[in-house]
Structure 1
Amino acid sequence: MAGPGSTSARRLGLALAWLAVLLLAGWWIAPRIELSGDLRKFMPSAQTPAQKLLIDELGEGPGSRLLLLALSGADADVLAAQSDALRARLADDPRFVLVANGGAAGLAAIPERLRSYRYLLSPTLDTTSLDATYLGDQLEARVQDLGSPVAALVEPLLPADPTLETLVLAESWQPADAPQTLHGVWFDRAGEQALLAVQTRAAGFDPTGQQDAVGAIEDAFGTVRGVSGTRLEMTGPGAFSVEVGGRTQREASRIGSLDTLVFVLLLALAYRSWKAPLLGALPLASGGLAGLAAVALGFDGVHGITVAFGFTLIGVAQDYPIHLFSHQRPGLSPWASARALWPTLGTGVAATCIAYLTFLVSGVEGLEQLAVFTVVGLGVAALTTRFMLPGLIDPAPRDVADTLWLDRAWTRRSRWPRLGVAGGLAIALLAGAVAWFAPGPFWQNDLSRLTPVPADALARDAQLRAELGAPDVRYLIALRGDDAEAALRAAERLHPTLERLRADGGVAGFDHAARYLPSTATQRTRQQRLPDPDTLRADLAAAVAASPFRDDVFAPFLTDVAAAREATPLTVDDLAGTPLAARVDGLLLRGDDGATALVALSGIADPVAVARVVDAAGAQLLDLKQASESLVADYRQRVLWALALAAVLLAATVWVALRSSRRVLRVLAPMLLTTVLVLAVLRGAGVELNLFHLVALILGAGLGLDYALFFDHAGDGRKEQLRALHAIIVCSLTTLLVFSLLAASSIPVLRAIGGTVALGVLFNFVLALLIVPRPLAATPVPRDPEVDAA
């Protein structure tokens, strides 16, 4: 017969084997996880054009990929030189599709292979003929240019472009309210900061790509700055995501370390054993890895929010081994104890899983991932607690029911008044009134309120956007077409209306794709206005004869015009790989169902008046802020319907398990009252509720259900109730401390979850104590001197 030593060694061996399996599973899962940061996975499908545009812009739009740079801390000439050097370094980097600082970037937007198309892209021929008179005026102007400070810029262009149409294009493509230019580059109004605009190839919600791009900018600036004291300031969605990601990782690491320490210390103190926290962590780790594997196998990528939320939500699973530890006592095998607890534990797990399964019908992929992660994680944690953990724990531990302080606490609790139906209804009505009538909006619809970016950083970003003349990120005009050509023609038809709006002061400026790439129809019309080779040669000869230029200088010009007359008009695909592509792609969205030309607006004085003018022209002004709010409202509506379904299914699950209306009411009452009380506290404190509060309320409800179920499971036996009380105290303390740490976070999402769940734990524990029936048997615990000393 094996002795105690060999049995203990066997249990240790099994624990190590379990740990080894978890390490192998983690090693296998890690390379198969493709983390995603695309926030669109946590948004419902768009129902309106504005919502669809908003979702597209969030991930792929130019606004989400724009980084604004400001160099300061040196004289203007030094800053200008460093700006040019930085632009030159970044322009050759494949991580960026556009780098602009007001300098050579204008000409660089027109690569050599496209310059023969300049008369098809420029509006010059819409009002002017390329005849002898026009050419003569242009050559006279060039003579003056060659005697001016711009001679070095003009002279290389003259043979192929005596009318300087390339410069006309580059100038026309500058923003209408572009910043001032000093030493050839953009500066702020005070002349103290050199400004650059950089568009990344990575999407706005590609955290890895954005971090790589930000790192490349910082490295390039480090080289350009040298030993000078110049400072680099960077704003924009990508820069913010990198900063917030780093801060979130640091906070998560700190909170995770503290959570682990709290878990270890509490379990070690509660069970007076160093083994308890180690063994208790095995089911939790098993559930986390299983949930992660299920999402990785079932979806294309695992969203970072899913991982963060998932591990927070399956924190409920830490309660499962705690209940087993607290109910274990001498004379009862761990297997028998687990078997006795399983109906209650299984009911709680099933009810919680049902609540999260309703997210599968939400139509939102992020919530579907969260449902799979949580359900699989909780299920595996519960099953390993039931069928694996009993083989590892000590079969003859100290019975926690023999603890003196616990007995005294339970005796004092028995003197408390019970909370009956009338009292519960009164609390519910009062809390409901506070929640409903509290001042301020009930729901939070503004997505920007959830950002952890400091307010001063957002204000600085807005200031730099204003300095650079960047378009308004709230208002856009959308023009739908069956294809790109139709969308471009729609933008061209709207152009005169936009010019009138700018002249009247309705907008400070506007931008659309047809400014860079006219429609095929417009290009063909301009082609027809180009003179034939013989006519152009004769007109050019007449203009040259009246100038100091030689008659053979402009042969490349004749070749370019001849090529333009015969060329196939440029399309969007022809711009691939050029700086023009970045501008056009951001303002012309193409899909399987057609194309949308966007008109970006800046300096809108009166949105209502602009909308009226645009609507009369057959277009539509879209308010992306309003679209985001309606999208949030739609999202919340889906979640609320899912929660209503979850509540019905949860109550049905408890009814099937308990088969007694009185017991069902007793178990559900603390959870329901807690939900109303938490809402009352949050609303009374002026908190506007968002999606994360709702998710946290579900988590809090699951915890409260577990507390009530185990108090109900204890029945009328005093010792069983003491064991249940011990387990619930340990569970609630662990959860309360963990989520209180989250509530102190600077990240709004974590703060919302932490504060809500911490309140839920506190209310659930107190209400469960008030609603649980008094014990019928009040047998005192024998006073053991050793126990008393302990």
Structure 2
Amino acid sequence: MPSNSKLAFAWLFITLVFIGALGYQLTVRNQSPIETNILALLPENRQDPIAQEAFDQVANSMSDKVIFLIGGQDKQVLLAASEQLSTELATVGLFSKVTGRISQNVQQAWGELYFPKRFQLLTPEQQARLQHTPELQNQQVLQALYNPFSGVTGNELRSDPFLLFRDFLSQLTKQSGNFQLTDGFLTTDYQGKDYILITADLSDSAYSLSLQRQLPALTTLENSIRQQYNVDVLHTGVIFYAAHGTESAKSEISTIGLGSLLGVIVLLLAVYRSPLPIALALLSISCGLLSAFVLTVAIFGKVHLFSLVFGASLIGVSIDYAFHFLTDRLAAGKTWNAQQGLQHIFAAITLGLITSLIGYLGMLIAPFPGLQQLSLFSAIGLTAAYATVVCWYPILARKPSQQRNALPFMHTMTAWLNLWQKPVIRVAFPSIIFIVALMGMYHADYNDDIRQLQALPSDLKQQEATIKSITGVSSSQQMLLVKAADEQDLLNQLQQVTQQLDTYQQQGALGGYQSISQYLPSEKTQRDNFALVKQLYQQQGDALTQQLKLNAPVAFEQTFTPLTIDDFLASPVADPLRFMWLGKLQGMQSAIIMLSDVHQPKIIQQFATQHLNISYLNKADEVSLLFGEYRVRVTELLIGATLAIWALLTWRYGMKKGILLILPPVIAGCVGIAVTTITGVPLNLFNLLALILILGIGIDYTLFFAEQDHAIDDNAEGNSESVSTQSTFLAISLSAATTLLSFGLLALSATQAIHSFGITVLTGIIVAWLLAPLSMSVQSMSVHDKQTNNTRHNEANE
């Protein structure tokens, strides 16, 4: 048994524990370990915990809603289609509540809530009229009575002689959107068609994988309604975007993961021509992915699909160390000694792990949970792959490989390495690449928009835009958070804010808004309204009695009882509005005002900053701003990591050699940024994270060449049994190829941020591989020539 048997058993025990933990996470836990909610990637509000809690409540409430619109030109057919759709939606299993035809109880709820309080509810126009020209209200009543379409009844006139309540209800209807009630359904017309609105509440989170799997049944139902009634069926809701994101991520994981895996297998077969290297490589990959998944779930609770898309790329990196071990084994032939082989590469792969971890773990500074998961996932996986090589490979690969006359691609590698002996190549080639890269970087443009994280399908965006045009209701998550010490103070503040918003709306800075205060005045306003109405009855009651020739005089005999927030929230009227009243958060009564079509956000922001208890919430802009801030921080980190790695290399190899080692990955990073810029893709935080990976991975290539110089110093005669430049270059080439297969495939992603990340890594790794021989000294090259000539001489003698 080899001397590292204790390490092998220890790593076997740890791996078995991870396998058991994986089984628990996948089967025993009550929830899936996969996170699909895009909001889980975002950082919390840094300044205001109330704002973060408010955003979470509103986002959760809005994400659980689904809107359907059924459109057609035949109203009767449209009503029948809507009736059937609303009935069958309840049987799909997706929804806990479907609102199609509005019941009589819900229709009566408006009257039941507001009618008893009608003497204290006025529109702003009525308030102004009663304050300044109350006699005009009499004319309003006369005009309504003589209008044959007004529908004024004797009962209404007796209960509300000045017809104030009907105008108040009319205003509420306008605030609720473009709809009117027809045969129990909310209907509207748009571009020559009638549309009926149906809303539904999901039975679980929009990001629930089990719920998303039921969407095909919903699609089937919609198609059936379209064909049967020849109507349009539109829908919008977070669940459709979430499902698209989930499927895109799964597809990209399959493309990247399986593509990398197949590429690795093909490379292994082409180079090693043996099943053992394939089994060992797959073992490294499996241990890396297993360890990364289990520990990430244990630490974060879940693994986000976004992290797994990047984590799938780990396949191409986690077997770099395996390549060096297996290539040394291939080169040694019958003289192979597993322990000596591990000893030969141990310093290089350990330094490579350290420098790669500097690159991966550098992403932990970003405040985005998704990036932190990616960082941890990759670092754990790479460490596990390293442990697999060190602990198990000397045991599992004790036997020598089949004897080969020469390594694969030896003549091509020899020709390339020979070029690097020429001083003009060593100076001119890197310099030209660097200058061209700087020219490309000069035109670099940054775009920190968080929306790049999610690829939105055009058909869903088109449906959402159409529904917004028809309904007049926006799904924007721009809002104002208003806080106060108590409920009445909060209602007063909401009214004051809405007055300012009315001004902004008239100025064109804002398209519209929705607030609880539009449906529930504060107690102070209700008292003021009550006083105005009482004064109206006292001043104009006799005149109205005479004008209408009423049998009983118009008199005011009401007492004031406020309509409270509890009354409002308990009514079905509040169902679509209840989410805006947040209640007590962090000791403060809080509510939000939803904004739509914010054309001049700076004006709204400035207004909010002038008031202590008002906050402007726009999560996308907030996180985009953070993206920009952390892009600067990551740039600083990148510079610091480069200097730290250079210091480490200088300590081991000397200053001149340290510069030659650090130059290839630095130039490669510049090329990656330049090419990404030239392709027209805006740069963002992810491109800088790509530079950290290029630095961490690219430095491995130069490190392994540098270790050859150390080996030559220890073996002045250049014995090929201890020094194998060809095997090193072959291992580096295989590592670069698998890295390109993994990270390079990210360039195929439909998500712009991931796509640009992939382009940067793809081009950067290619250049890092091309320039890696720069780290070899001319002395090492000469020894390499001697080895090559001896090999060819031996082949000729044979």
AA partner of residue 284 (structure 1): I
- Summarize the Cα distance change of 1:346–1:244 in structure 2 as closer, same or farther, 3 Å threshold: same
2:355 matches 1:354: no
Contact 1:354–1:649, Cα closer than 8 Å, also in 2: no
- Aligned mate of 1:708, from 702, 715, 731: 702
- The 2-side partners of 1:577 and 1:219 are apart by 35
- Summarize the Cα distance change of 1:226–1:272 in structure 2 as closer, same or farther, 3 Å threshold: same
AA partner of residue 430 (structure 1): I
Could you say which residue in structure 2 is the equivalent of 1:256?
Answer: 257
Contact 1:494–1:617, Cα closer than 8 Å, also in 2: no
Q: What is the alpha-carbon root mean square deviation over aligned residues? A: 5.3
- Aligned mate of 1:697, from 679, 691, 695: 691
- Summarize the Cα distance change of 1:208–1:514 in structure 2 as closer, same or farther, 3 Å threshold: farther
2:36 matches 1:37: yes
Residues 201-240 of structure 1 mapped to structure 2, 5 A cutoff: 206=207, 208=209, 211=212, 218=219, 221=222, 227-240=228-241
The Cα offsets for residues 53-95 of structure 1, whole Å up to 9 and x where unpaired, read as: 7992797166655544333467443234433554566689997
2:588 matches 1:594: yes
2:756 matches 1:752: yes
- The 2-side partners of 1:170 and 1:95 are apart by 34
- The 2-side partners of 1:519 and 1:122 are apart by 10
AA partner of residue 464 (structure 2): D
AA partner of residue 83 (structure 1): S
Could you tell me how far 1:348 is from its partner in structure 2? 0.8
Which one is further off, 250-259 or 119-128?
119-128
Residues 482-631 of structure 1 mapped to structure 2, 5 A cutoff: 482-499=485-502, 509-523=512-526, 569-571=564-566, 575=569, 578=572, 580-586=574-580, 591-592=585-586, 594-595=588-589, 597-602=591-596, 627-631=622-626
Could you tell me how far 1:52 is from its partner in structure 2? 5.3
Contact 2:580–2:591, Cα closer than 8 Å, also in 1: no
Contact 2:68–2:234, Cα closer than 8 Å, also in 1: yes
**Secondary structure of 1:723 counterpart:** helix
Residues 438-477 of structure 1 mapped to structure 2, 5 A cutoff: 438=443, 442-455=445-458, 457-471=460-474, 473=476, 476-477=479-480
Could you say which residue in structure 2 is the equivalent of 1:640?
Answer: 635
2:439 matches 1:434: yes
- The 1-side partners of 2:259 and 2:796 are apart by 31
Could you tell me how far 1:742 is from its partner in structure 2? 2.8
- The 1-side partners of 2:384 and 2:775 are apart by 31
Unaligned stretches of 5+ residues in structure 1: 2-12, 550-557
- Summarize the Cα distance change of 1:140–1:85 in structure 2 as closer, same or farther, 3 Å threshold: farther
- Summarize the Cα distance change of 1:498–1:580 in structure 2 as closer, same or farther, 3 Å threshold: same
- The 1-side partners of 2:222 and 2:117 are apart by 34
2:312 matches 1:311: yes
2:195 matches 1:191: no
- Aligned mate of 1:386, from 357, 368, 390: 390
- The 1-side partners of 2:448 and 2:590 are apart by 27
Contact 2:690–2:757, Cα closer than 8 Å, also in 1: yes
2:380 matches 1:376: yes
- Summarize the Cα distance change of 1:157–1:737 in structure 2 as closer, same or farther, 3 Å threshold: farther
- The 2-side partners of 1:702 and 1:37 are apart by 29
Could you say which residue in structure 2 is the equivalent of 1:70?
Answer: 69
Could you say which residue in structure 2 is the equivalent of 1:335?
Answer: 339
Which one is further off, 500-509 or 159-168?
159-168
- Summarize the Cα distance change of 1:313–1:697 in structure 2 as closer, same or farther, 3 Å threshold: farther
- The 2-side partners of 1:404 and 1:444 are apart by 44
Could you tell me how far 1:596 is from its partner in structure 2? 5.0
AA partner of residue 415 (structure 1): L
Could you tell me how far 1:385 is from its partner in structure 2? 1.1
Could you tell me how far 1:406 is from its partner in structure 2? 0.7
Could you say which residue in structure 1 is the equivalent of 2:178?
Answer: 179
AA partner of residue 726 (structure 1): L
- Aligned mate of 2:746, from 732, 739, 742: 742
- Summarize the Cα distance change of 1:759–1:138 in structure 2 as closer, same or farther, 3 Å threshold: same
**Secondary structure of 1:444 counterpart:** coil
- The 1-side partners of 2:111 and 2:321 are apart by 69
AA partner of residue 364 (structure 2): L
Could you tell me how far 1:447 is from its partner in structure 2? 2.8
**Secondary structure of 2:645 counterpart:** helix
Which one is further off, 184-193 or 288-297?
184-193
The Cα offsets for residues 337-380 of structure 1, whole Å up to 9 and x where unpaired, read as: 12321111011111111233333344443333333222222112
- Summarize the Cα distance change of 1:372–1:244 in structure 2 as closer, same or farther, 3 Å threshold: closer
- Summarize the Cα distance change of 1:589–1:423 in structure 2 as closer, same or farther, 3 Å threshold: farther
Residues 11-26 of structure 1 mapped to structure 2, 5 A cutoff: 24-26=20-22
- The 2-side partners of 1:376 and 1:601 are apart by 44
Contact 2:92–2:218, Cα closer than 8 Å, also in 1: no
AA partner of residue 776 (structure 2): V
Could you say which residue in structure 2 is the equivalent of 1:768?
Answer: 772
Contact 1:76–1:192, Cα closer than 8 Å, also in 2: no
- The 1-side partners of 2:726 and 2:104 are apart by 76
- The 1-side partners of 2:24 and 2:619 are apart by 43
Could you tell me how far 1:515 is from its partner in structure 2? 1.4
Could you tell me how far 1:600 is from its partner in structure 2? 3.6
2:272 matches 1:271: yes
Could you say which residue in structure 2 is the equivalent of 1:27?
Answer: 23
- Summarize the Cα distance change of 1:614–1:645 in structure 2 as closer, same or farther, 3 Å threshold: closer
- The 2-side partners of 1:212 and 1:156 are apart by 54
Could you tell me how far 1:324 is from its partner in structure 2? 1.0
- The 2-side partners of 1:476 and 1:61 are apart by 15
Which one is further off, 599-608 or 288-297?
599-608
Could you say which residue in structure 1 is the equivalent of 2:4?
Answer: none
2:661 matches 1:667: yes
Which one is further off, 423-432 or 28-37?
423-432
